[in-house]
């Protein structure tokens, strides 16, 4: 069956608390998807946000950010009393992360107090959770010590704190309460997540997670696995990640993430990567593996360079890694982000393992090439109008030259697509030869670049802040969207046969 999906970050869901969360708004979203015939909900990483509130610069590859914990669910589950709750910025269309985090913290602390006072009620489930997720303890120590060091990066902590992960010499007794609090937050987060995911799966919706290729320096991943990265004596990166200059960025992109020490990783049987993927495999139905090309070759930049202009392409042991991965996790379901100007070896690596790649339909048009034939997209592909890193479809179209706008309009009209430019591009994507087509919510809504999630090479607002105030416009659009899913053979429903009513 040709599948379809919708891209929507949890942070962008409507809620009464200034940010989307794992509560009623998420369950309503699942209901809308199921009623429309959608098969897949693709989310962005939900891990604890780091620098710039980017979901691709997180404090852990697996830990959930407590900012997404539903206050409403805490009330429903008895951790909080309804009379204690007030809403926060209910009509927000942008996320103020600092304000939301401060607002929610007082309720999370109250819920923790209730948990401690009534611990026997939760003890069995809590104990099982910690036994099944031993990473939670080190993560909780990491955040506790980070708090003790004024939220600075672990490389700047006092030596006794910085080196605990290596020698365990520090007495953590004075910090037990805070460590327990962070463990509690993970227990609650994944209790709520598991409930939502189960509801989605029961409704016929698969959830596709998103795993960044690199991790941030200020993360449990690096603190706990320093030998797996190219670091200087002080723990700071000696080399950092990015991509070289291209058509869109004359200085390239200097991301700043530490580079992997692939020699150490390979000698260890790629333990760090396999465990990282195993944990995510247990959380999602499928995983979108970001920046796939770096498993073939990655851009290595000396840390002292201010831009990504000076660097070198270094080969990675891609085949050895994926052979080890599938031996360890034969049932893992991966799709890969294979966008950009790639050397043939990247595509050979992708095809050797039969990975599903990606196609951005906006890129069928533009300054450098004419529209591609609508069936040119390969079957083993996920087609998107655009992703979180692209302009919205309307924003993209409005910035085209008038001659290119006419070219796009002519092509889409010639193939029978109707409606606004966003609606026509959605039909064009659904009509492609790809086995899966995924449409971002902002394109279903027909929004301009005020709804853009992220502009690569930029940091801070307005990146990652867009959210829905309510579902009113989304609900209005779903009848047309459902009709297109049926028309292009992508719905989970069976259309009536001749003679049926």
Residues with a catalytic annotation lie at 290, 337, 389
Contact call for residues 374 and 431 (beta carbons, < 8 A): yes
Tokens 């320093």 sit on residue: 226
Distance CA 250, CA 330 (A): 41
Distance CA 447, CA 153 (A): 38
Contact call for residues 320 and 295 (beta carbons, < 8 A): no
Distance CA 164, CA 149 (A): 14
In degrees, to the nearest 5, what angle opens at C-alpha 477 toward C-alphas 475 and 482? 100
In degrees, to the nearest 5, what angle opens at C-alpha 420 toward C-alphas 404 and 339? 55
> What b/e string do you get for 40-59 counting C-beta neighbours within 10 Å, with b at 16 or more?
bbbbbbbbbbbbbbbbbbbb
Contact call for residues 184 and 143 (beta carbons, < 8 A): no
SS3 289: strand
C-alpha separations of 460 from 180, 218, 413 in Å? 31, 17, 38
- DSSP E strands in 123-279: the ranges are 206-211, 239-243, 253-258
Count of beta carbons in the 10 Å neighbourhood of residue 32: 15
Extract the tokens encoding 292.
């796939």
DSSP 94: B
Contact call for residues 349 and 295 (beta carbons, < 8 A): yes
């Amino acid at each position: 069956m040709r599948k379809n999906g919708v891209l929507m970050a949890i942070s962008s869901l409507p809620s009464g608390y200034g940010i989307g969360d794992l509560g009623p708004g998420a369950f309503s979203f699942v209901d809308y998807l199921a009623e429309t015939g959608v098969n897949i909900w693709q989310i962005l990483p939900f891990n604890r946000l780091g620098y710039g509130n980017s979901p691709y610069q997180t404090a852990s590859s697996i830990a959930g950010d407590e900012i997404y914990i539903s206050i409403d669910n805490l009330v429903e589950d008895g951790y909080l009393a309804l009379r204690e709750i007030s809403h926060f910025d209910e009509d927000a269309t942008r996320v103020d992360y600092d304000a939301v985090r401060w607002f929610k913290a007082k309720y999370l602390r109250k819920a923790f107090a209730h948990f401690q006072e009534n611990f026997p009620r939760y003890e069995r489930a809590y104990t099982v959770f910690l036994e099944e997720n031993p990473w939670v303890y080190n993560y909780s120590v990491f955040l506790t010590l980070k708090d003790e060091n004024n939220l600075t990066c672990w490389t700047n902590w006092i030596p006794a704190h910085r080196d605990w992960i290596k020698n365990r010499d520090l007495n953590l007794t004075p910090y037990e309460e805070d460590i327990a609090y962070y463990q509690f937050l993970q227990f609650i987060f994944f209790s709520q997540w598991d409930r939502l995911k189960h509801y989605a799966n029961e409704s016929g919706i698969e959830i596709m997670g998103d795993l960044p290729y690199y991790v941030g320096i200020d993360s449990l991943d690096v603190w706990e696995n320093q030998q797996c990265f190219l670091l200087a004596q002080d723990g700071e990166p000696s080399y950092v990640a990015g991509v070289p200059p291209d058509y869109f960025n004359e200085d390239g992109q200097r991301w700043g993430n530490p580079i992997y020490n692939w020699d150490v990783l390979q000698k260890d049987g790629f333990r760090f990567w396999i465990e990282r993927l195993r944990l995510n495999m247990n959380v999602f139905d499928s995983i979108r593996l970001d920046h796939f090309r770096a498993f073939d070759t990655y851009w290595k930049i000396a840390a002292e360079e201010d831009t990504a202009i000076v660097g070198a392409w270094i080969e990675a042991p891609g085949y050895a890694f994926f052979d080890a991965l599938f031996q360890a996790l034969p049932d893992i379901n991966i799709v890969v982000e294979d966008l950009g100007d790639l050397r043939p070896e990247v595509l050979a690596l992708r095809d050797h393992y039969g990975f599903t790649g990606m196609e951005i339909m906006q890129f069928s048009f533009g300054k450098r090439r004419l529209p591609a034939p609508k069936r040119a997209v390969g079957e083993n592909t996920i087609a998107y109008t655009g992703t979180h890193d692209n302009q919205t479809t309307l924003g993209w179209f409005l910035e085209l030259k008038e001659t290119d706008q006419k070219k796009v309009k002519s092509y889409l009209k010639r193939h029978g697509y109707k409606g606004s430019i966003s609606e026509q591009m959605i039909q064009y994507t659904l009509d492609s030869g790809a086995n899966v087509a995924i449409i971002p919510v902002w394109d279903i809504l027909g929004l301009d670049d005020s709804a853009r999630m992220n502009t690569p090479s930029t940091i801070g607002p307005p990146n990652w802040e867009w959210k829905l105030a309510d579902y009113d416009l989304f609900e209005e659009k779903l009848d047309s969207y459902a009709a297109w899913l049926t028309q292009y053979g992508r719905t989970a429903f069976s259309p009536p046969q001749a003679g049926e009513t």
